[in-house]
Amino acid sequence: MDGFLFHAFVYLCAAVIAVPVAKRLGLGSVLGYLIAGIMIGPVLNIVGSETEQLQHFAELGVVLMLFLIGLELQPRVLWQMRTSLLGLGGLQVFATVALTTAIALLLVDWRSALAIGLVLSLSSTAIVLQTFEEKGLARTDGGRAGLSVLLFQDIAVIPMLALIPLLALPEVIGTGVAETGSGHGPGGGADAGMSLVAGLQGWAYALVVLAAVAAVVFGGHFLTRPLFRFIAASRLREIFTAAALLLVLGIALLMTLVDLSPALGTFLAGVVLADSEFRHELESDIEPFKGLLLGLFFITVGAGIDFGVLSASLFVVLGLTLGIIVLKGSVLFALANLFRLPVGDRWLFTLALAQAGEFGFVLLGFSLQNQVLPPELAKVLNLVVALSMLLTPVLFIVYDRLILPRLSGGDQPDADEIDEQGAVVIAGIGRFGQVVNRTLVAAGVRTVVLDHDAAAVERMRRIGIRSYFGDACRPDLLRSAGIEEAAAIVIAIDDRDRAVELAEYMRREHPRVHLVARAHDMDHLYLLRKAGVDMAVREVFESSLEAGSAILRTLGVHPYQAEKMVRAFRRHDQESLEQLYELWDENLEMSKNVAMLERVRARTASEHDALSRDRADLHDRSERGWTPPPKGYADDLGS
């Protein structure tokens, strides 16, 4: 227990210090974590051998991240990506493997050379996607292309893992046995003993794989919704979080059991759930776990850098690292040109994916275990992979500081590619929120509807209104609903106090977002106004006026006259609202606020006065201008 507390303290401490500093210096959080890892690992020697186990555990962060990315991609969008996924991704992997292998052939046996090619062809999903998200690049062309390549690589890992045992070197057999167990499938659980498919024939294995994928797709589509609905009805938030984690871990386990990539499985589950009403709730529940685990993963990468090996063969390692970055970058740049990415995105794509990645560690461990690579070479390559990951944030800085400024001049038309901005968040889909939403959607505005009642969300979805389950007062849920890019929010939740709290929160944290709130009554209106909403609307005021106007018409008042009276009333009432606000006291009940009651009486009297005078002599403000000039006025005009 002491050991656990101590280690937890050291890792958290390193992260808490290094990451904000790195972020402040403009280096990005990933580099911060890596530096934190280097500090507590090779530099200060506070942590040691447990980092390797931790790393396997921390790879769960990658699994969670791919689940979240899947949630952002509706099946339709994934289908649109098929060309770049297969074309860009496929060509990247094959070209990089071919070139790296060809160069490695000059130095080592062809089998080792091919293994090296496979190891170095993969990029770091964790670093790249985390950085894309942090810098808001995920939805640019370059970001999408990068995601395609990374997804293809995740798929390609599976045949690579199958290929490596076939490359065993006769002369290495026997020397690498001690290293077994150091590397497994990503996700940290693919022990050979846990595989259900170890001894199966090829066709049987294919069937099992298909069945597993089908289970994820159909289970995700048909079983999760009733399950989540049932759990949501219990209103126990931590159980919902537990269910979300259970879902992701369960799929990861299933995938490991059939020797598939857990990251890929959860990605698929994410895509299946991207259309579900629980999407934003799942996102905000999983997000913190993903963030911490990924952070831990980056720390272990930093901590795992072996300074002994590094200093012994410094120039070899540095040379190889730079060499592989240049080689991968060249392949990527050529592909970016071939696929005609926008100019700025070509550089982003090239620099972002030029490193080797965490799957490289996995393949290295696996190669060692299968006697494909000699241990000394594997150690050097391990270092090359880690160093290239360490350099990735630096390449992003190069992109930000050197390339982006130069492009910003002539690159104007490409800026529109970042989609999905300026939406309106509607908090609460009751009678009020519904009409607001329908109006906006009919006008072509993109809305995100949130409600904490799963049954209401279900009803809305049944009639074709895109809405999501979750408590709109939760900051993390608002964030995953896109509040940061939203143009406005409509606060239409039933709970009066929470509506005010939400308004206060929005003003404090997102002052840029336009704030419209539904008020239950005058007191609520004033509370919302004090909280800083741009506009508060009394929910039944307009409909009551309409009823009043209808009665007037029934009683024989000319329809246009009735309309003018209603307008006069509305204006008068608006003035009253302004005046009474000055006398309003939050801490004093309105029925006990003597000054305010006095003013209410006076205003009510003048209201009556205004409309009755209107009837009597037609000289109210509502009649102004349509009032004929005095009789005989024309006699003077000619003079």
Partner 1 sequence: MPNQLPLGESAGARRQVLTLFAHPSANRSEVNRPMAEAAAALEGVTFVDLYAEYPTFEIDVDREQARLLAHDVICFQHPLYWYSTPALLKEWQDLVLEYGFAYGTGGTALRGKLFFDALTAGGPEAAYCSQGYNHFTIRELLQPLEQTAALCGMIYLPPFALFGARTAVEEGRLNRHVGDWVRLLEALRDGRVDIARASDLPRLNEHLDALIAPPPRAAVGT
Binding site for partner 1 (CB under 8 A): 567, 571, 621, 624-626, 629-630, 633, 636-637
In the complex, minimum distance from the CB of residue 638 to partner 1, in angstroms, rounded to a whole number:
10
Distances (CA, A) of 14 to 3, 53, 201, 295, 355: 16, 19, 48, 11, 24
Q: Enter the tokens of residue 401.
A: 């500081």
Q: How far is the CB of 619 from partner 1 (least distance, A)?
A: 12
CB neighbour class for 217 (10 Å; exposed up to 12, middle 13-18, buried from 19): middle
- At its nearest, how many Å lie between partner 1 and the CB of residue 521? 25
Residue placing its CB nearer to partner 1 in the complex, 405 or 629? 629
Between 587 and 639, name the residue whose CB sits nearer to partner 1: 639
Q: How far is the CB of 422 from partner 1 (least distance, A)?
A: 18
CB of 541 to partner 1, least distance (A): 16
State which amino acid sits at residue 290. K
Q: Answer whether 97's CB lies under 8 Å from 121's CB.
A: yes
Beta bridge partners of 40: none
Query: Exposure of 405 by Cβ count < 10 A (0-12 exposed, 13-18 middle, 19+ buried)?
Result: exposed
CA nearest neighbour of 622 among 559, 566, 551, 557: 566
- 632 Rama sector, left if φ>0, alpha if ψ -120 to 50, beta otherwise: left
Burial class (CB in 10 A: 0-12, 13-18, 19+), 359: buried
Between 421 and 574, whose beta carbon lies closer to partner 1?
574
Q: CB nearer to partner 1: give 287 or 573.
A: 573
Residue closer to partner 1, measured from CB, 24 or 624: 624
CB of 538 to partner 1, least distance (A): 18
CA distance 525 to 536: 6
Angle in degrees, 0-180, between the axes of helices 141-163 and 358-369, rounded to the nearest 10: 10
Nearer to partner 1, 592 or 631 (CB): 631
Nearest distance in Å: CB 628, partner 1:
8
Mind spelling out the 3-state secondary structure of 482-498?
CCCCCCEEEECCCCHHH
Q: Is 292 exposed, middle or buried (0-12, 13-18, 19+ CB in 10 A)?
A: middle
Q: How far is the CB of 488 from partner 1 (least distance, A)?
A: 19
Instruction: Give me the long-range contacts of 602-609 (CB less than 8 A, separation at least 24).
Output: 603/572, 603/575, 603/576, 603/579, 606/572, 607/569, 607/572, 607/573, 607/576
Q: Give the nearest distance from C-beta 622 to partner 1 in angstroms.
A: 9
For partner 1, give the closer residue by CB, 193 or 625.
Answer: 625
Cβ nearer to partner 1, comparing 464 with 630:
630
Closer residue to partner 1 in complex, CB, 512/571? 571
Closest contact distance (angstroms) between CB of 215 and partner 1 is 52
Which residues, 6 or more positions from 87, have their beta carbon under 8 angstroms from its beta carbon?
339
Nearest CB to partner 1, comparing residues 416 and 635: 635
**Residue 287 identity (one-letter amino acid):** E
